[in-house]
Amino acid sequence: MTDRVVLAYSGGLDTSVGIGWIAEATGAEVVAVAVDVGQGGEDLEVIRRRALDCGAVEAYVADARDEFAEEYCMPALQANGLYLDRYPLVSALSRPVIVKHLVRAARQFGATTVAHGCTGKGNDQVRFEVGITSLAPDLTCLAPVRDLALTRDKAIEFAERKNLPIATTKHNPFSIDQNVWGRAVETGYLEDIWNGPTKDVYSYTDDPTFPPVADELVLTFEAGVPVAIDGVAVTPLQAIQEMNRRAGAQGVGRIDIVEDRLVGIKSREVYEAPGAIALIAAHQELENVTVEREQARFKRGVEQRWTELVYDGQWFSPLKRSLDVFIADTQRYVSGEVRLMLHGGRATVTGRRSEASLYDFNLATYDTGDSFDQSAAKGFIEIYGLSSKLAAARDVKFGNAPDLGQAGGIGTVEGA
């Protein structure tokens, strides 16, 4: 039986050429796999037909938009997933759902190899290959651009020689990846990090410099997941799509960042994630109301590690699964409503309420009705500061008291 290779297929030039390129280089039959995660563009049936016309022996297509929103975007929202505190894991989140369908197709069509279109210096090659071997250790991985020298010039020449049904002359200076959670733009003149993004970089967001009238809305959450907008029930996918529309109209979610790639280089990336950024802002504030202090403090460290694991292609790793359990437990009481003001590129929380709130008005108020026992504070402070007080007394005893320096500056402490 002829070997089969499953190829992650986008319908563009590189992966369309990749079908025949892989077949000629390896002698294997190619099965094309296209997964819709809300990237827009062409219909899946059109993509399926093109894959077959380009030489694929089978074409597997999947509408995974709801799956992506529910099983990948919502866990990221509950984790407040922001790499380097800014990037909401746009591309990183879509790779594991695509990987799952690639492995499923490999099993269905008897393939032994899974191929993808990534280069040799990006993050996605790691996300695809680590994800694939984490789900199916017996499968091997192939990257035609990296492993079979499929350059863009060669791809254009191959497409023209084989008369493939794909445009070969359109040039876009940017490399773009997008899905319902956001949009990532890189390369071209953006590689000079002094150059500012021009308006043609953006698609999901309008210019926040000249915003329309402010847009106020109320988000309803249940266990950390948005379930309604202005009282109208929504699915996770609908929540993201509606927030993309409304926050995008206000220019929310534009991110220009130099980030640390997994492979060790720094890369300039421009992102648009209006829905993700607005939803995370609302979710974080509802957590401030409903999550206990020590649990919240610990969760911030978990969030950072969870985000790094997802960015680094470890979605299916044992540690990621363990952190998922903790994060899910923290969301037990993250239910309620958040009022959000969208305007001029900002998503600002202006109100919050929850039946599970830990905010007690009578304890917080400084006016009549204050139920906080202020007389307890003195003893609390004495006990709380006791260990530091004892250590300070010891420092004085051994001549190591802090040097208060001149004009308010504190100098270094001399050793014993």
Q: Could you list the residues known to form a binding site, using ranges.
A: 8-16, 87, 117, 119, 123-124, 127, 175, 259, 271
Among residues 36, 124, 206, 312, the one annotated as catalytic is 124
Binding residue positions for ATP: 8-16, 117
Structure tokens at 18: 């990749």
Residue 195 to residue 174: CA distance in whole angstroms: 14
Whose CA is closest to 357, among 377, 375, 337? 337
**Helix 124-135 vs helix 90-109: crossing angle, to nearest 10:** 40
Q: Positive or negative CA dihedral for 40, 41, 45, 48?
A: negative
Q: Which of 323, 316, 87 is nearest to 185 (CA)?
A: 87
- Count of beta carbons in the 10 Å neighbourhood of residue 357: 15
Q: Where are the beta strands (DSSP E) in 152-287?
A: 175-179, 182-186, 215-222, 225-229, 232-233, 254-260, 266-272
**Residues whose CB falls within 8 Å of the CB of residue 360, separated by 6 or more in sequence, listed in order:** 371
* CA pair distance 162, 378, nearest whole angstrom: 83
Query: Is-catalytic flag, 175?
Result: yes
Residue 218, H or E segment: strand 215-222
CB 178 within 8 A of CB 253: no
Catalytic residue, chosen from 146, 175, 256, 317, is 175
Spatial separation of the C-alpha atoms in residues 277 and 286, rounded to whole Å: 14
Q: Let me know if 14 is a catalytic residue.
A: yes
Nearest-angstrom CA–CA distance, 324 and 326: 5
Of the candidates 48, 65, 95, 246, the residue annotated as catalytic is 95
Report the catalytic residues.
14, 95, 124, 175
